[in-house]
Amino acid sequence: MTEFVPINWNQVDAVVADLDGTLYLGEQILPGAHAFVREAAAKCPLFFLSNNTSKTPQATLEKLLRLDFTVYEDQLLSPLHSLVDSILQTGLKQLWVMANADVLAWLAWRLPGIELRAERSRTECVVLAYDNTLVYADLCEVMWRLQDGASYWITHPDFVCPDPQGSVPDVGGLVELFFVGTGRRPERTFGKPNPDVLAKILNRFTPERVLFIGDRLYTDYELSKQANCQFRLVLSGETTEAQWLALTEDRPQLLRL
């Protein structure tokens, strides 16, 4: 039996909400999303986390504002922030980043002096973001560099991205393609389910009193388990009611926005 569990706000100090498939699909606002955001923001600090690296943090902010959500830039969390921090910490200088033009421009702004489309012989690391403009030649450039032994990072492992017309291919699908061609798996992942993407929140709040809301089992729910946070699953995105019912153990609680 499908049972939706209301939030006990007395046990929550902060909320982190997923975006795609949780609050909206494309430009379509999902039922209850506005009311939930208003309620959560009135109860405690509210943050937004998306694995969608086809958009810069600024573009995500602009979209939320366009969809009439009240949100500020410091409420947004993205794997792109973690990626930038790691590149600076490791001292990498020669990368080949699969990303669309907007994301490449944002990375160039955040990473001055670092080559994002390095020559093959100089590439230290390949990075896959969600490139919704890729062409076949891009796949070849990545595969060649992986065969050469370059380090291999991805922004997130999502197989698909929710879309009003149906799911569309995401980074995780390309990871499988490159595994078949090279036998290699990514060495680092920066988005969900890696709890490092929540570092800003977990350094400020007790993890057990942070509530994460999302629509995916293998990223959103897995992140909450690794970070030791509370979790509620919504059925408006990737996970269906049938998939939830098929879980014989470790079944997350449901939330209706």
Per-residue pLDDT of the chain (257 residues; tens, 9 = 90+): 678 999 999 999 999 999 999 999 989 999 999 999 999 999 999 999 999 999 999 999 999 999 999 999 999 999 999 999 999 999 999 999 999 999 999 999 999 999 999 999 999 999 999 999 999 999 999 999 999 999 999 999 999 988 888 889 999 999 999 999 999 999 999 999 999 999 999 999 999 999 999 999 999 999 999 999 999 999 998 899 999 999 988 999 999 99
- Could you tell me if 157 and 224 lie in one domain? no
Q: How far apart are CA 170 and CA 186, in angstroms?
A: 15
228: in domain: yes
225: in domain: yes
203: in domain: yes
- Could you tell me if 185 and 213 lie in one domain? no
Residue 170: strand, helix, or coil: coil
- Could you tell me if 102 and 118 lie in one domain? yes
4: in domain: no
What are 77's strand-pairing partners? Answer: 49
Spacing of C-alpha 72 from chain mean position:
18
Asked whether 173 and 50 are in contact (CB, 8 A), the reply is no
What is the pTM for the complete model shown?
0.89
- Could you tell me if 127 and 196 lie in one domain? no
Which residues neighbour 181 within 8 Å (Cβ) at sequence distance 6 or greater? 143, 146
Number of alpha carbons in the 13 Å side-chain half-sphere of residue 204? 13
201: in domain: yes
As for how many domains the chain has, the answer is: 2
Q: Which residue, of 189, 209, 224, is where some domain finishes? A: 189
Q: What's the distance, Cα to Cα, between the start and end of the chain in Å?
A: 18
- Could you tell me if 31 and 87 lie in one domain? no
What domain range is 240 assigned to? 9-51+192-246
